Copies of this chain bind each other. A is one copy, B any other.
């Protein structure tokens, strides 16, 4: 044994479990009077917010909830949703945030599979929650949040959230996790097929991704963070913990309405917000007179498909700077970022948008990222051409899927997390997603990226939304089939117009052979359900 190991083993004095719970204790102590929560007319500081989290932990504990127990929540972006991110893990329990757009059977599945002992729910969802509970043999204890900003709906149980908090001790001595590997939350994937899988996060990963967020985004102290991103989604990309660590202010809103978003940005001088590109789209489509009203810089972190150049240009004009990130539920939200280079600022808008649309490089808190052959795990060359699957490794990769060893083994095969996303790696090392592994079209032996075709379709002035899937073909094996939603005022656009437009920009084997005009089916998180489109294309 080396001289640096002998007698120098970890002790309670120098090895403490990493946990985001550490953040709220510090922020409440140092910036207790600073604003923590803004929700409609409600204002609450950090001292009070911390006390409410401790009350929640205490009340749960008095009801017999403890380490390893699941507390599920069905909540929109409201202050209670922040409180559960601290109050639940404070007693070693595991937070399961349910997607509020789910139906009763999916909710019932998750409550049963996750073995939830408590369900905290908002009155808005009383109908679906009643239905879900009726499907369960052993329903959990239900606590109702009666949010004044909603003011409608019905309670599901007799136990009100505020009354429940009143049962708890605001100075409750909560427990630091014994082990940083201990579970902190459970997030079900919105799988497009099959049963949802329960992704388990731990304290170590939550702490680290929260740190990674603030560092990657250079957030500074006291950000004013607007909750346009659903907090049920990957624990709000870990921002409940990040913003708290920075003694920032959480500005809540139950529903993303563009006018509301704009007025909140103005009123509270919001500095940061996250979300799908659709949030930016909505802002861009506001009347110019409204848009001109943002008078301070705003940073927006956007995941998923990068917004087209036009949208990026329009939001930049509004004073909003877009940072493009990429991640999955399995990795705590964002873990790659299109890290910006100052010298790119001088490039023309189209070029900037093209650069920005890439998924980029690893967060400083993700240790491994590669694009490699899905079978051999051999990295592809950095040539911007060769397709491979994106693989990740690091401390912000999930513990695994709950009670699903087969899926866990498959996802982790070869010592890397298989994202299922296909990408290229550019000469500068930045990755760019080309398609989902299961979406790629193989036509006459050639790989065709559906994302590439969709990118072209989105540039057509009549196209509001577009999705491309494979359609079986006797001669070619598969051919591209496009589903398109037209903008209002462009209803007369025909298949030939679309294909003709594509012909100018795509090799002929990549041209959609069929174009279907219709609304696109989406999951509750707004993802287009390509498996349905594939079924439809097959049936054409």
Contacts and interface: CB of A to CB of B under 8 A. Distances in A.
A75 B95 CA distance: 51
A183 interface: yes
B221 A3 contact: no
Contact of A408 (B7, B183, B341, B342): B7
A13 B417 contact: yes
A367 interface: yes
A400 B10 CA distance: 9
Given A31-B341, A181-B10, A395 B15 contact: yes
Contact of A29 (B5, B94, B429): B429
A16 interface: yes
Contact of A14 (B2, B6, B94, B395): B395
Interface string A400-417: 101101001000100111
B367 A3 contact: no
B4 A183 contact: yes
A4 B68 contact: yes
Nearest to A404: B7
Interface stretch (A119-127, A211-219, A228-236, A471-479): A211-219
A394 B16 contact: yes
A395 B393 CA distance: 23
Contacts of A16: 367-368, 393-395
B115 A3 contact: yes
Interface in A1-41: 2-8, 10-16, 18, 22-23, 26, 29-31
Interface in A51-72: 67-68
B215 A3 contact: no
A398 interface: yes
Interface residues on A, range: 35 or more
Which has the most chain B C-beta neighbours within 10 Å: A15, A176, A218, A341? Answer: A15
A397 interface: yes
A439 B211 CA distance: 39
A318 to B, nearest CB: 23
Given A215-B215, A405-B7, A26 B415 contact: no
Contact of A215 (B7, B22, B115, B211): B211
A412 B11 contact: yes
A8 B200 contact: yes
Number of copies: 2
Given A4-B68, A339-B30, A13 B393 contact: yes
Contacts of A30: 339, 361, 429
Nearest to A403: B3
Nearest to A339: B30
Contacts of A214: 215
Given A12-B393, A181-B10, A362-B26, A67 B398 contact: no
Contacts of A11: 412, 415
A23 B67 CA distance: 35
Contacts of A182: 4
A399 B2 contact: no
A139 interface: no
A364 interface: yes
A245 interface: yes
A426 to B, nearest CB: 12
A194 interface: no
Nearest to A408: B7
A238 to B, nearest CB: 14
A400 B68 contact: no
A18 B211 CA distance: 13
Interface string A438-460: 00000000000000000000000
B429 A68 contact: no
A400 B15 CA distance: 12
Interface string A475-500: 00000000000000000000000000
A220 interface: yes
Which has the most chain B C-beta neighbours within 10 Å: A220, A341, A364, A402? Answer: A364
Given A218-B220, A222-B342, 12 more contacts: A3-B115, A4-B200, A13-B417, A14-B205, A16-B393, A16-B394, A18-B395, A22-B364, A29-B361, A214-B215, A215-B246, A245-B364
6 contacts: A2-B67, A3-B402, A4-B186, A4-B399, A26-B364, A214-B215
Q: 5 closest A-B pairs (Cβ-Cβ)?
A: A2-B68, A4-B183, A14-B397, A16-B367, A8-B399
